[in-house]
Structure 1
């Protein structure tokens, strides 16, 4: 069976076709529009392009940032012009049939659990650390999703009070509207803000990482401790076999080792900390995970 997955982000809307062995067959990219009407049209056009390539109707999964409120069906997203619109419902109506819509961090987690760094494990968590923070939980090769559809929004867990107090860190308002979310300290902009607060220097995350054994050592220590506390909370809640790290900051050389060391220090006594591994799927993970979620729905429906 051929399956299509769409990776929908702030700059690109890319559809990929996968064959029955989950190898990529072809792809097609379009820029992400700035208006809602054009966004719906672009995604619909990508689905139709994929089906024309395959010569048949396909299971299609869309992986996109943000949330869909299960009460109202309205989307909430920072990087797409879809907030306060029933985006998945409008896609279904325009196509004349339902497609699978999944958060992009959850899609990556599913892809990594099946095909990537989490394969062979029963409980896999994904943790994406980039311009924001999100993730997902996969149990026995299926996404764990509850009635609120907010599971996986790890970036909006409260920051640890003892670290915020120790270093007299400012309390930031998060994009979600709440104060003190861990994302405001650990995501890329949060790391830059930490450096500004602790050192007075305006540096990018790669610049901070490059200088972490020099004048940015204290900044890096605080950042890894904050990241470790987030991982500690996830471990106490789920106790996963493995946590797969993705996103831009996961690509920093040595970040797995540094966060793992801090996470072990944060763990209770000498109990083991969760195992951290780097995502393997690259930029295909989101589309492949969305496609796999769509394929799973066809198996369930069948």
Structure 2
């Protein structure tokens, strides 16, 4: 019996996963993400109808996607053709079924708190280091959205002035419209750009990470990245004091990155005080969809975010 479904919506693919009451994966389906808005809504509504057909009736359906939804229900997202459009409400209307719409980074935090690397901890923070930077916080296995709705947008906090000044880095404009967001330095594209500015050489995040022990310039760039990301982590720890920080995203797959970031965090912490463990997400590709499904189930049909 299908108890809930989650859709992990990305810029290139949208995967819907069906879960039973024990959170075992029952079935899944993947579709390419369309490049225009009407086709996107049509594809997602078809995925929701597929869920209902597979379940034999109504079940909670969650959609996890990058970006935010403002108080008027409009999407703010860079990698989907939906900016300024009422995406959650339009999906629900086209499918004829309510949905719960949640940021994908928050969905990962929820999934890892309930089922993965954060299980058993009271306060679980996720940090996604990929094409962008974001995260979420789960308290006692639950997300607690605030009145503004921007909690977890860690990548759009200011970059460390100390690191920028020490290495004479340029101030980059962020996709959000602001200048100097930390995402512009520590996300994958930001790391590559920072490497070019520091060394004059073109690196991908993967080639730079692989060469960081054998190439002095790559090692220097990696140290700057660790310092910048470590300062972000320190700010988060000193603000939230989480039990554990769970890493996700493409850069989390760099060998020993959790250990490197743990050392950077501890090195910046106030003397005499500790730091939470930094661990890798256990759920892999399933975490986002599973977290969206759990968010929908937790909504209990009383307040799904479909408008």
Q: Normalising to structure 1: TM-score of the pair?
A: 0.97
SS at 2:279 equivalent:
strand
The 5 A counterparts of 1:1-302 are 2-70=3-71, 72-213=72-213, 214-215=215-216, 216-298=218-300
Partners of 1:112 and 1:119 within 8 A in 2: yes
Q: Please report how far the alpha carbon of residue 300 of structure 1 lies from its aligned counterpart in structure 2 after TM superposition.
A: 6.0
Q: 1: CA distance between counterparts of 2:194 and 2:139?
A: 35
Unaligned runs of 5+ residues in structure 1 are: none
Q: 2: CA distance between counterparts of 1:192 and 1:274?
A: 28
SS at 1:225 equivalent:
helix
Partners of 1:231 and 1:263 within 8 A in 2: yes
Q: Please report how far the alpha carbon of residue 274 of structure 1 lies from its aligned counterpart in structure 2 after TM superposition.
A: 2.3
Q: 2: CA distance between counterparts of 1:207 and 1:238?
A: 34
Unaligned runs of 5+ residues in structure 2 are: none
Partners of 2:45 and 2:92 within 8 A in 1: no
Q: 2: CA distance between counterparts of 1:128 and 1:144?
A: 19
Q: Please report how far the alpha carbon of residue 270 of structure 1 lies from its aligned counterpart in structure 2 after TM superposition.
A: 2.7
Q: 2: CA distance between counterparts of 1:162 and 1:65?
A: 30
Q: Please report how far the alpha carbon of residue 229 of structure 1 lies from its aligned counterpart in structure 2 after TM superposition.
A: 0.3
Count of residue pairs brought into register by the alignment: 300
Q: Please report how far the alpha carbon of residue 299 of structure 1 lies from its aligned counterpart in structure 2 after TM superposition.
A: 7.2
Q: Normalising to structure 2: TM-score of the pair?
A: 0.96
Q: 2: CA distance between counterparts of 1:259 and 1:289?
A: 25
Deviations 1:250-292 (A, max 9, x none): 0000111111111111111131122100000000000000000
Tell me how large the CA RMSD over aligned residues is.
Answer: 1.1
